[in-house]
Amino acid sequence: MIEFDHVHKRFGDRVVIDDLSLRIEDGEFFVLVGPSGSGKSTLLRTVNRLVPVDAGAVRVDGEDIATLDVETLRRGIGYAIQSVGLFPHRTVAENIATVPRLLHWPEADIRARVDELLALLRLDEPGIAARYPETLSGGQQQRVGVARALAARPRIVLMDEPFGALDPLTRESLQVSLKTIQRDMGTTILFVTHDMDEAFGLGDRVGLMLDGGLAQVGTPLQLLHDPVDERVRDFVGGARARLRELAVRTVGQSMRRGERAEGEPVDADASLQDALGAMLTQRRDRLPVFQDGQPVGAIALVDLVARDA
């Protein structure tokens, strides 16, 4: 659990974080989203004490981090950033093993963990573990950075715009991998982005930061359906918010259970946006829905535009 208790931070005359309080629960994927300069990256960096707070407190599992040894604190928190920061003189395997070695894991456990993460993050190209960062693509480097952040099985991982420089296909693939790993491991992730689609696609809850404070905190659907003011309404998409909702809701939430349809099926876990794309591709207004390879219902075009879909 991460708790921000009336946190203040200023740089010179500029207030960056203004009396902010927030609680992030164990196992939650929490996303901070907002424009540049809103304070979201600064807030994230207070958790591992890369940025000291001027007032208030940051607590991890109930302990004020200001009272903890900083090296011990950081070794227990995974950290991934956009610029990756891989050690150029170390191989992929050595980069991933950095924190487990600092924690004196047995070598056999380190090798097993490296292999596990290479597989989970689809770094399965032959010989990639022995390669150096300069020989990797940008997407591969970012995957190694994520693997390094997860290597010691930290209960908390901080991620500061980790996918911001990637092409859309690579970015989407990494988002899917990260969400799956987070769900399986039960890791608490605090993720910073300026991309609202990324925030809604990843976050269990989303906090919209504006001018050093939290304008609204809630699930993606809460922000889309019930923005607290016009600033939030405009940021989540205004009149286009309904299109974003298609990417948040799943087919399984809106399908007609037990009904049948013709055509190539869509998965129950797919988004309504994916279902719309499949309908347009197949030129159909109704498709079958499968789950675990078995038919479970149908989804119709009208279900995508219904207000309570």
- Say whether both 208 and 76 belong to one domain: yes
- Say whether both 227 and 264 belong to one domain: no
Q: What is the pTM of this model?
A: 0.87
pLDDT (average), residues 43-58: 96
pLDDT computed for residue 210 by the predictor = 94
CATH of the domain at 292: 3.90.1280.20
The per-residue pLDDT for range 83-111, each reduced to its tens digit, is 768 899 999 999 999 999 999 999 999 99
Q: Which residue has the higher pLDDT, 58 or 139?
A: 58
Asked if residue 98 is part of any domain, the answer here is: yes
pLDDT computed for residue 309 by the predictor = 46
Taking the C-alpha atoms of residue 264 and residue 194, their distance in angstroms, rounded to an integer, is 35
What secondary structure does DSSP assign to 220-275, as a single string? HHHHHH--SSHHHHHHTTGGGHHHHHHHHSBHHHHSEET----SS-EETTSBHHHH
- Say whether both 51 and 93 belong to one domain: yes
217 closest CA partner among 43, 15, 8: 43
- Say whether both 212 and 133 belong to one domain: yes
* Single residue among 217, 239, 261 that ends a domain in this structure: 239
Structure tokens at 36: 């540049």
pLDDT computed for residue 305 by the predictor = 77
Asked if residue 295 is part of any domain, the answer here is: yes
- Say whether both 298 and 149 belong to one domain: no
Mean pLDDT of the chain: 91
Taking the C-alpha atoms of residue 119 and residue 65, their distance in angstroms, rounded to an integer, is 34
- Say whether both 180 and 271 belong to one domain: no
Range of the domain at 78: 2-239
Specify whether the backbone of 61 is left (phi greater than 0), alpha (psi in -120 to 50) or beta.
left
* Single residue among 211, 239, 267 that ends a domain in this structure: 239
The per-residue pLDDT for range 59-87, each reduced to its tens digit, is 999 999 999 999 999 989 999 887 768 89
Whether residue 307 has pLDDT greater than 60: no
- Say whether both 10 and 142 belong to one domain: yes
- Say whether both 98 and 148 belong to one domain: yes
Asked if residue 202 is part of any domain, the answer here is: yes
Whether residue 248 has pLDDT greater than 70: yes
- Say whether both 15 and 94 belong to one domain: yes
The per-residue pLDDT for range 189-241, each reduced to its tens digit, is 999 999 888 999 899 999 999 999 999 999 999 999 899 999 999 888 876 77
Which amino acid is it at 115?
A: D
Asked if residue 244 is part of any domain, the answer here is: no
Asked if residue 164 is part of any domain, the answer here is: yes
The per-residue pLDDT for range 140-171, each reduced to its tens digit, is 898 899 999 999 999 999 999 888 778 888 88
